[in-house]
A and B are shown apart, each in its own frame.
Chain A
Amino acid sequence: MLGWFYRGLTGGRVTTPYPRREERLPEGFRGRPVVHPERLDPEGSWEEYERACLPGAIRVSEKTLTLDLGRCICCGLCASVPGGAFTMEPDFELAVSGRGDLVTVVHRD
């Protein structure tokens, strides 16, 4: 038991100063998708984004594109659709105070 006592003393501190200081995440961490409306072709069909999304977090209607982070599984398949309208960002702080705050709506005009 004494062995574990000493090992506990020598282990040092492993907790990080988060949230006082920003937690640095590795490059390429798939934290959340972000939609860039300016990269969506206003004349094109946006349906390929909906098709790329397994859990149905991206829904496209005639006039809108909706991204619902509450359904997103952060797989990143939307970011591999050509055109680059979606990118995966390393931001993992997804907590919001209302369900609606998880939803982003892009209008066609």
Chain B
Amino acid sequence: MDEMVRIERRTGERPERTRWGGLRLSMPPERLAYVVPALAVEEDARFVAEFASERDGRFYLHAVVEIGGTYLILEAPLAGGRFSSLALELPAADWPEREMKDLFGLTPSGHPHPERLVLPEGWPEGEHPMRKGFAREKEVELAPPERERPIMRDPVEGDGVFHIPYGPIRSGIFESAQFVVDTPGEKILRLHLNMFYKHRGMEKIFEGVPLEQAPLVAERVSGTDSFAQSLAFCEAAERALGVEVPPRARHWRVILSELERLYNHIDHVAKQCEAASLNVANARFAILKERILRLNAALTGSRYLRGVNRVGGLRFEPGALEGALLEELAGIERDFTRDERLLRRTDSFLDRIVSAGPLSREDAAAHAAVGPVARGSGIDLDCRRDHPYAAYPELDFEVQTASAGDADARFDVRLREAHESFSLIRQANGRMPEGPVHAASSAPEPGAEALGWAEGARGEELYYLRFGEGGALDRVKVRTASFANWPLFAKTTDGQVLTDFAFMEHSFAMSQAACDG
């Protein structure tokens, strides 16, 4: 059925079809609190994001859902500093609403546990960094911490049960996150996630940055998703400005996106091999990753594909994927296929990932999981197919899913996706259209807004942006795949054993920087 009719049935109003291709509907906040769960439960809409913005001294609540293959933005002007929480009905709204409470000082009424999420302990009450009145340069004094134990919500207590704080500084991992495990020794009874140690205020940093430089900010949301981040940002800006990206740039964006997916997926395999002490396999997959990074450098001048995307296309024509570089790509694919075949026959490895970190389809859906984490639990979603962008609609590929929901299913999904990536690169390169890689755009109109998205290695990377006075970036919302998926990690460890922790964590393969923002 037409999504317009379905939305009208639940909201009583017909949404407006926007210039950026999605749908939009304004309503009072009490209506929004009823409509979003109704769309999710009755119409099978997928919760995508919930966030706030401030304009002309007034706060607005925004919810994004996906219905019938289209993104719908619901917007509600808030009269005061409160709004009705969606988190009881939609667990996926838990983190977004606590984030809004910290950063905007808006209170989600009826939230099951509205504790602090993003801001550090000791941060003074009443200081909300995303408010327009909070200057970017402002320095805030933190009160010294008072606790003796790590932060835990409803810890499991009892004879012989103890709490292991693991992190925030850990061996082998550059990023900071703390996992607190309640355990009587081996079995994990409950896992507490303490994240946001390195919240940098990326959304605040975007405000006022010239459009020419803003993709550089997006790239720094997450180092290993740099291309997907800058692409999702550029897609949003291009949709808001109505600029048509030239076909050549759209094909290049596919090639570079897939190279990014490949090195991330291969890195995940290398890390799993390392956790299994399979040293030769670890080294061989790590070498493959390095070869892709070098290929990236040869094509774009940057190992992590930074400084390439630009609103309207690419900043320059990448090096041609032909001759020695094309042979190198074929060599990487050949070696990857060979080692993959051996790894899939290595029982001592498979024993560690089969049945580790199970995630049910129900949990994945309730928490609105994205990317390989969702696909490994049988949820068939992928922006590349569902919300076409770049040159994906012109290319052939299959979205890979598995049903078991364990670390093995996510491993299997990523390996099969890697083969699709090689194929996509060959197709896009083989059909590379002639022409420029950049199209000029007009100056942004005040009030213009749009969503942009890209299916990164970790899933749907989503940007909302809105231009303000003089065409400056007034609000940028970054909803990364890592922010969407991380809360689910605690679900996968219940009842598992501590010795499998590394396998479960690597199988999620989320970015901490992208989560912390």
Residues of A participating in the B interface, judged by any CB pair closer than 8 Å: 1, 3-5, 7-8, 11, 14, 25-30, 54, 73-77, 80, 88
Contacts and interface: CB of A to CB of B under 8 A. Distances in A.
A11 B284 contact: yes
Given A3-B345, A4-B342, A75-B307, A26 B280 contact: no
Contact of A8 (B280, B294, B302): B280
B319 A26 contact: yes
A4 B281 contact: yes
Contacts of A76: 301, 307, 315
A4 B348 CA distance: 12
Given A4-B342, A4-B346, A8-B280, A26 B217 contact: no
Given A25-B297, A30-B302, A74-B307, A4 B319 contact: no
Interface stretch (B208-216, B380-388, B444-452): B208-216
B301 A4 contact: no
Contact of A54 (B209, B300, B339): B209
B342 A3 contact: yes
B278 interface: yes
B287 A14 contact: yes
A15 to B, nearest CB: 10
B298 interface: yes
A7 B287 contact: no
B306 interface: yes
A7 B302 contact: no
A28 B301 contact: yes
Interface string B213-236: 100110010000000000000000
B217 A3 contact: no
Contacts of A54: 209, 213, 216-217
Contacts of A26: 294, 297-298, 301, 319
Given A74-B302, A75-B306, A77-B213, 12 more contacts: A1-B346, A4-B278, A4-B342, A7-B339, A8-B284, A11-B280, A28-B300, A28-B319, A29-B301, A73-B306, A77-B216, A80-B315
B217 A4 contact: no
Nearest to A90: B301
Interface string B287-302: 1000000100110111
Nearest to B341: A3
Contacts of B287: 11, 14
Interface residues of B, number: 27
A29 B216 contact: no
Interface string B308-333: 00000001000100000000000000
B444 to A, nearest CB: 18
Nearest to B281: A4
Contacts of B281: 4
A77 B209 CA distance: 14
B51 to A, nearest CB: 24
B373 to A, nearest CB: 28
Contact of A73 (B212, B216, B342): B216
Contacts of B306: 73, 75
15 contacts: A5-B280, A26-B294, A26-B298, A26-B319, A27-B319, A28-B301, A28-B319, A29-B302, A30-B302, A73-B216, A74-B302, A76-B301, A76-B307, A77-B213, A77-B307
A7 B284 contact: yes
A54 B331 CA distance: 38
Given A4-B346, A7-B284, A30-B307, A88 B216 contact: no
Nearest to B345: A3
A1 B319 CA distance: 40
> Which A-B residue pairs are the 5 nearest by beta carbons?
A8-B280, A26-B298, A4-B280, A54-B213, A28-B301
Nearest to A28: B301
Contacts of B342: 3-4, 7
Nearest to B273: A4
A43 B405 CA distance: 66
B301 A88 contact: yes
A7 B213 contact: no
Nearest to B347: A1
Contacts of A27: 319
A45 to B, nearest CB: 18
Contacts of B220: 73
Interface in B90-119: none
A29 B209 contact: no
Contact of B216 (A7, A11, A14, A75): A75
Contacts of A14: 287
A29 B220 CA distance: 19
A1 B307 contact: no
Interface string B271-286: 0000000101101100
A14 B345 CA distance: 25
Nearest to B319: A28
A7 B297 contact: no
Nearest to B348: A1
A26 B320 CA distance: 12
A53 to B, nearest CB: 9
Contact of B212 (A3, A28, A29, A77): A77
Interface centre among A8, A27, A75 (most CB of B within 10 A): A75
Contact of B297 (A4, A29, A73, A77): A29
A72 to B, nearest CB: 12
B310 to A, nearest CB: 10
B229 to A, nearest CB: 14
A73 B217 CA distance: 11
B237 to A, nearest CB: 16
Contacts of B278: 4
Contacts of A8: 280, 283-284
Interface centre among B213, B278, B342 (most CB of A within 10 A): B213
